[in-house]
Structure 1
Amino acid sequence: MNLQGAPEGSTLFAWFWDLAQEAISRPELLALVYPEQVDQFECSQCAQCCQQPWNIELDADYYDHWYSTFDNHPSGRFKNPFLPATEGTRAVLNKQPGSNRCLFLDQDNLCFIHKEYGAEAKPEICQRYPHEASLHGNLYSPSLKSSCKTAARMLEETGELVLRMVKRPDQWEHPPVEPLQPWIGLLLEGIWQHSISPARCLAGSVFSLKQISANPLFLTELDLLSQLYHGQVQAWRQDTGPKAPRWSECLELFAVLDPFRAPALDRFLAKLKEGNRLPFAVSESERQHLSAVLRNYLTRRLLNLNPLQAKGLTLFQFAFLQAFSLLAVQVQALCLAWYSERRLTPEILVAALNQVETAVLQNPAWFDRHRFNQLDSATCLDAITVATSLDLCLPEI
């Protein structure tokens, strides 16, 4: 690909820089960018996703086609299989009485619809999960939802980014050029090529976000983009010294955003506030493993630009959401470790990540309650600085 004009020394940023120009000169192409683990996913049939308080929405065609089939099934097990749509909502799958288990989840934890009628008979959401894809301008990124246990475990695997150009399907529309792609490439370069911890990468990104806030042309003018790149890399290089977590502010932010409501977590948070430091030592090997997992996790989240569209988030709100994700995963991992072996084992880290994604980041009610799309840029930048001050990938001071 033609990388002429990209800042000297840049790698992933240069690829995204070129991508932004290709969107104008070659709109028939799509950039396919995703972690290679996406191609390796196989369902473990754990049925966790079929036992969540989520609402599985149905379109009108599915409702009309399948309602009577299930409602009149000879077994009598599936009466009132769907809850009908009301004003402002869509119809959803019903659940088993007094449970979050899907009405169609059998005792063997397999889907009755899949067994009886085939995979194509399931609702579209069930067919796709945990696969998702983000189409933003000419950037197409397949991914996996980390609320799936198997998808979360795959974050432990060492992998690479798949980067290639493909022809846009004829039936796909040509959306407008999106200017923030080079900034996404800049952050990916930070965590993949500059050996920066994920939290430190986001903390340092406040530099470029402030530049963009003061002058949005930093996202669109090539000379300003080059200046933004060099300034951001310099900011990362200067931000190498040890830092103490801002414990009280971190925990206050965590509590305000209310990711979980559990007495055990409340007791643990009280202990953290009391001690104002880590409640147990984190070994170097645990830090290295945590850094690799969070790098893969942040990569997955940065490439999923759906919140920008579905939730109407600004770049600053989107960046804060990623910073809070890292904070929530680390706090939850510490809590789980405290109540077990007091070690950040791989199993505990994956469980924490899976729980945060399941209960918080894929919970529409959580987004609506905290009104992320109403936060101004200054509030977001301050919150990013607080959230990223907790960085378990670095030695405690």
Structure 2
Amino acid sequence: MSRQQYRAAIIGTGGIAHAHARAVQSSGGRAELVAVADVDAGRAREFADKYGIPHAYAGADELLREQELDVAHLCTPPQLHAPIALACLEAGVTALVEKPPTLSLAEFDALIEAEQRTGARVATVLQHRFGAGAARLRRLAGAGELGRPLVATCLTQWYRGEDYYAVPWRGTWESEGGGPTMGHGIHQFDLLLSVLGPWTEVTAMAARQARPVETEDVSMALVRFESGAMATVVNSVLSPRETSVLRFDYERATIEVEHLYGYTDDDWTVTPAPAHEDVKSLWGADRTEGSSGHTGWFAAVLDALDQGEQPPVTTKEARRTMEFIAALYASAFTGERVRAGQITADSPFARRMDGTGAPWRNQ
């Protein structure tokens, strides 16, 4: 596999942009940050100086016009993801989009159409798929070493106080697209979906319990998968003891990970079923010291580009996750079970995640 050096830019210099800059700088020279853009020109220049980036711009359009790029890291507030990703595609630049990639399923489908039309690529940043533990779990499960998947639990119980929502774009359907279902739990349940495969139906509830926001601050869902496995998914920003937990109960073992914003091999535990102690040795055969995060994800992106393939997480894979989010909201707000494929282009929940409207909107 021949390796190239890729010209990269970062658009948006909020907190997550620093993780992207460090990932590029940790690529071993495979990528170079040549430009950064932010609507606050002073902040763009400060970010550029911090990371030794030669060019700083006051907007994405100017950056895309002035620079020849291979990839652009989109680290803006969510409502800007779709329009800037579209501009990148039109410029022939691969767009690496932070979560959530768009505000709606309809916006995401527009990106898929533009990707097919322009030949450029979009990849969603869902970095927890790329930790060693997740890769090992998918490999062992795919090889049949764990038996059938039966039961799973997916918990994102974080805490975000009112000061967090003082940022104007947070907590609204128009600018963030949703609450913890959209912007916090997505990492955990995307990993759940990457392990268990296609989901078939969702039954959910959501509520605005405590935060002064338009969106939910907690949601819960029961999910069935094509394999027959069933899962519980919880997304919360109301939980003082913060944790991120995934538990998979297979016929031959329980596999668990508990962390907060990123995991290492030390965060995983394996409990074999009786007569299946060999699972523990299979799990421990290739332990690593690395952690899940942007560095591993970006290395996978560069590997795909080197091979002329679509970088991860592909639009096909990310759409399954976005459809799951839309289905969860649709079930929560209508009180009905929602099946995969049920949210078609004419559904209000395809156009907006709040669809027919959150039940508390007039309270």
TM-score normalised by L of structure 1: 0.24
Greater RCO structure (CA 8 Å; 6+ sep): 1
Name the one with the larger helix percent. Answer: 1
Larger Rg: 1
Q: Which has the higher strand share?
A: 2
